[in-house]
Structure 1
Amino acid sequence: MPRPHARFPRRSRLRSALLGLLAPVLVSGPMLAQPDDSALQRLDTGDAGRGWEAVGRLDIGGKGFCTGALVAPDLVLTAAHCLYQRGSGARIDPGQIEFLAGMRNGRASAYRQVRRAVTHPDYVYQAAVSADRVRNDLALLELYQPIRNTTVIPFQTDMRPAAGDKVGIVSYAHDRAEAPSLQEICGVIARQSGVLVTSCNVDYGSSGAPIFSFASGVPRIVSVVSAKAEVDGGPVALGTELETPLSVLKAELAAGQGYGLEPAPRANRVTVGGGREDIGAKFIRPGD
């Protein structure tokens, strides 16, 4: 399954391993980076990072991190699997999570502790990897205090793009933990079973990173990075469903959910590769 979060680079040695194969392959065509994909641009200066301050690093118990983005002054959108301990599958106490808005080179535009968190009710951390698991890999974090900073402007969301559309991504990763990077142009390879398959450049720590559409002239979040994968030998990034699941998460918070999280639900493992939900991806995770 996808790695819950990246450890800080000094604390671990990363190596890639194939976890499983989803078949049959439904996505056709080359899965390598598209010819017009842009290179990663490091946002490590004030000028480079201007306008992206609402993307931040989520530090988790001082042991690892994911990427998250503000969608309201007190709400951070990220991947659900970031909120689970990798070994035990237990949910992480939201009080151990801190959001560092626009963090670069040891400083952030704002620091906030997480008050509570909700994950999509259909997301099961310990389930076998599948399209169903990826598309529901969404979480919403409520901060103790809203960020009222004129330089940290929450992002709006939008409908998912179609295959062939161009998107962008801002993310932290294990090899760029101290500043985010922007890939302004990457491609949507396919949109299947509620999963967005893209050519965006991601790595461990990019989990929860916002995928943006620029169709309206301003960046709007259209998906969240769930997993790094391979299709036909080429690297891809898999994104979650967003429109309906995000509405569900907001309703959960409005109903008062997320204060005392119950243990993660248990699920019987199923054989990887069965059924019409497959998207033809090899999910990748680092070894211990």
Structure 2
Amino acid sequence: MKLLKGLLFMLLLPHGAMAQDSPLTRLDTLDAGRAWEAVGRLDLGGKGICTGALIAPDLVLTAAHCLFDPDVNEPIDPTRIEFLAGWRNGRASAYRSVRRAVLHPSYVYEDEVSSSRVRNDIALLELQRPIRNTTVVPFETDARPRKGAKIGVVSYAHDRAEAPSLQEVCAVLARQKGVLIMSCDVDFGASGAPVFSFEGDEPKIVSVVSAKAEVRGEQVALGARLAEELDVLRAQLGQSGQGHRLPSGVRRVQVGDGNQTGAKFLRPLN
């Protein structure tokens, strides 16, 4: 797999660059998870899990590659996907099936992890019915953070699929060609997890977890950009009859592993 060129400079980072990150905290109780009820687990029709976040009563933001079945390299029928808002120990604050889905028109599902793949790895899921639960409040989004900014991530993963975990403090190590390179602790299942900025009064989503890479034995997270890309997705949903579709020319092939010059991509996290 080709190396994302923007990662090469990270080989020069000091080994202690991620030492100030906070550990993952499992949000097992209602009190602990109260502020994060709009983050939920996405059950992908028996094909695994991803993480998603509500950004409107009927819209869930996630990673585009979550919409593909990696076993056959074909799109998953979005009506087989379920969003479990605030899923915790067998219960959710709201359950919703997905009506339709749109992915970024420039996203390409392929075997190479590149800057264009990661930066466009976002999708919107339109729910069958809006969530009007007063405890499940959609998050606002914001511009991507600067290098050095403190951020946080709320995610599910393969080994903690029954409750979300919060990493309240991690850092933006770099911004390269629309990709956020972050010190955040993510694992398989965390694809689509919201990346939060805490600079205002309320946490706002500034990116979506796409993949992870390894540098000098340290794992880093890669995040997609939002900003005008979200406007593109909203416009797609506004088109009458627009459902889940792939851009022309998309290659549907299995994602693999590879390494070069000491940095190794591990693969998208679903």
Of all paired residues, the percent bearing the same amino acid is 64
Calculate the TM-score normalised by the size of structure 1: 0.84
CA 1:31–1:112 in structure 2 vs 1: closer, same or farther (change >3 Å)? farther
Match of 2:32 among 48, 52, 55: 48
Contact 2:2/2:112 (8 A) holds in 1: no
Counterpart position of 1:12: none
For residues 229 and 22 of structure 2, what CA distance do their matches in structure 1 show? 30
- Equivalent pairs counted in the alignment come to 262
Q: Which has the higher helix share?
A: 2
What is the aligned partner in structure 2 of residue 224 from structure 1?
Answer: 208
Matched, 1:61 2:61: no
Counterpart of 1:85 in structure 2 is 69
In structure 2, C-alpha distance between the alignment counterparts of 1:32 and 1:75, rounded to whole Å:
39
Offset from partner CA, 1:39-94 (integer Å, 9 cap, x none) = 11100101100110000000011231100000000000000000011132211100
Distance in structure 1 (CA, Å) of the matches to 2:112 and 2:157: 24
Which stretches in structure 2 are left out of the alignment for 5+ residues?
Answer: none
1:37 maps to 2:57: no
2:122 is the alignment partner of 1:109 = no
2: CA distance between counterparts of 1:264 and 1:96?
A: 23
Distance of 1:33 and 1:180 partners within structure 2: 26
> Is 1:152 aligned with 2:136?
yes
Determine which structure has greater relative contact order: mean sequence separation of CA pairs < 8 Å that are 6+ residues apart, divided by chain length.
Answer: 1
Measured in 2, the distance between the counterparts of 1:229 and 1:190 equals 13
- Identify the residue that residue 138 of structure 1 maps to in structure 2: 122
> Separation in 2 of the partners of 1:31 and 1:131?
24
The letter of the residue matching 2:67 is: L
Query: 1:68, 1:62 → 2: CA distance?
Result: 16
Please show how residues 199-238 of structure 1 align to structure 2 within 5 Å: 199-238=183-222
| Comparing 242-251 and 259-268, the one that deviates more | 259-268
Residue 9 (structure 2) aligns with = 26
Residues of 2 paired with 1:257 and 1:229: CA distance?
A: 38
Q: TM-score, normalised by structure 2?
A: 0.90
Structure 1 residues 62 and 197: alpha-carbon distance in aligned structure 2, compared to 1, 3 A threshold: same
